Amino acid sequence: MIYGDSLHIDAHVQQSNSANIPCIVKSISDTIIKIECDAALDPKASLSLKIPSMNDMTANLLWKKQGEYGCQIDYIFHPAVIKSVMDRLDQKRVLAVA
What are the boundaries of each domain within the chain?
2-97
User: What is the per-residue pLDDT across 28-42, written as a single tens digit (0 to 9) for each?
Assistant: 887 889 999 999 999
Q: What is the mean pLDDT of residues 38-58?
A: 89
The answer to whether 27 and 33 are in contact (CB under 8 A) is yes
Per CATH, the homologous superfamily of domain 2-97 is predicted glycosyltransferase like domains (2.40.10.220)
Answer yes or no: is pLDDT of 48 > 80: yes
pTM for this prediction: 0.79
Q: Given this model, what pLDDT does residue 94 score?
A: 53
Determine the Cα–Cα distance for residues 20 and 13; give it in Å rounded to an integer. Answer: 6
Answer yes or no: is pLDDT of 12 > 90: yes
Handedness of CA 84, 89, 95, 97 (dihedral sign): negative
Determine the Cα–Cα distance for residues 53 and 56; give it in Å rounded to an integer. Answer: 9
